[in-house]
Amino acid sequence: GESVGLHLPTLSVQEGDNSIINCAYSNSASDYFIWYKQESGKGPQFIIDIRSNMDKRQGQRVTVLLNKTVKHLSLQIAATQPGDSAVYFCAENKGPNNNDMRFGAGTRLTVKP
Amino acid sequence: SQTIHQWPATLVQPVGSPLSLECTVEGTSNPNLYWYRQAAGRGLQLLFYSVGIGQISSEVPQNLSASRPQDRQFILSSKKLLLSDSGFYLCAWRGGYRGRTEAFFGQGTRLTVV
């Protein structure tokens, strides 16, 4: 479910390293998942999505992995850059008609030069 | 192209005062619309979503209400603000069959209740 009451977990990586951000989702009936990036003071921006009939999807420097067995989602960022520093959220479609969209707790990624 | 407008960007309101935040979408029809709240350094809490005019789903019982008087207009209101209503309010829209598309967010309203 939503973890809005928790402080964000943090991940610190060196520039050029790969980053892996994890997310556990709650509803086994969720069929669509999205990763968002949120920079300070701004609204979240779409990064990549994946449907439940897939277990992997690749974009530019990003890969999303979906493990439905354990209800786990991960975002891999290759060759992390300082501009990747932000908070990353996963979101899942929930509700009886899959119309509401719930966010995970988020992870703050800090890239060290 | 589609755009989403949310205003105001910042707002400082006294406890007990009313609130009205407005969100409008351009370039699409019959979008799903959402209001989220984000406390400082925390995640996004879904407050309301709407799949059509006059249709509002409330996720968290609280001091707020939402309305959708027009297809592309979503309003978040309160009759009397509480200190705990402070936060970053985000409006979002999405389209597609049964919401299986990404959501697009406005720039948010930072509300401080004093």
Compute the average pLDDT of residues B91-106: 81
The reply to whether residue B44 touches residue A45, judged by beta carbons under 8 angstroms, is no
Between these two residues, A5 and B63, which has the higher pLDDT value? B63
pLDDT at B61: 63
The reply to whether residue B41 touches residue A44, judged by beta carbons under 8 angstroms, is no
The average confidence (pLDDT) of chain B is 91
pLDDT at A3: 45
pLDDT at A6: 52
pLDDT at A4: 45
Return the H-helix or E-strand segment holding A64: strand A62-67
Cβ-Cβ pairs closer than 8 A, A with B, add up to 86
Confidence of residue A97 (pLDDT cuts 50, 70, 90): low
Coil, strand or helix at B85: helix
Closest by alpha carbon to B35, among B11, B63, B10, B6?
A: B6
Confidence of residue A27 (pLDDT cuts 50, 70, 90): confident
Is some CB atom of chain A closer than 8 A to the CB atom of B32? yes
The reply to whether residue A46 touches residue B102, judged by beta carbons under 8 angstroms, is yes
Between these two residues, B88 and B95, which has the higher pLDDT value? B88
Is some CB atom of chain A closer than 8 A to the CB atom of B111? no
Taking CA atoms, A41 is separated from A54, A69, A90, A106, B6, in Å, by: 33, 35, 18, 15, 14
* Region of poorest pLDDT, from A33-37, A67-71, A92-96, B52-56: A92-96
Using the CB atoms, write b or e for B44-59: b if 16+ within 10 Å: bbbbbbbbeeeebbeb
Closest by alpha carbon to A104, among A40, A26, A44?
A: A26
The reply to whether residue A7 touches residue B32, judged by beta carbons under 8 angstroms, is no
Is some CB atom of chain A closer than 8 A to the CB atom of B35? no
Burial of A13 from C-beta contacts in 10 A (0-12 / 13-18 / 19+) = middle
Confidence of residue A39 (pLDDT cuts 50, 70, 90): very high
pLDDT at A100: 80
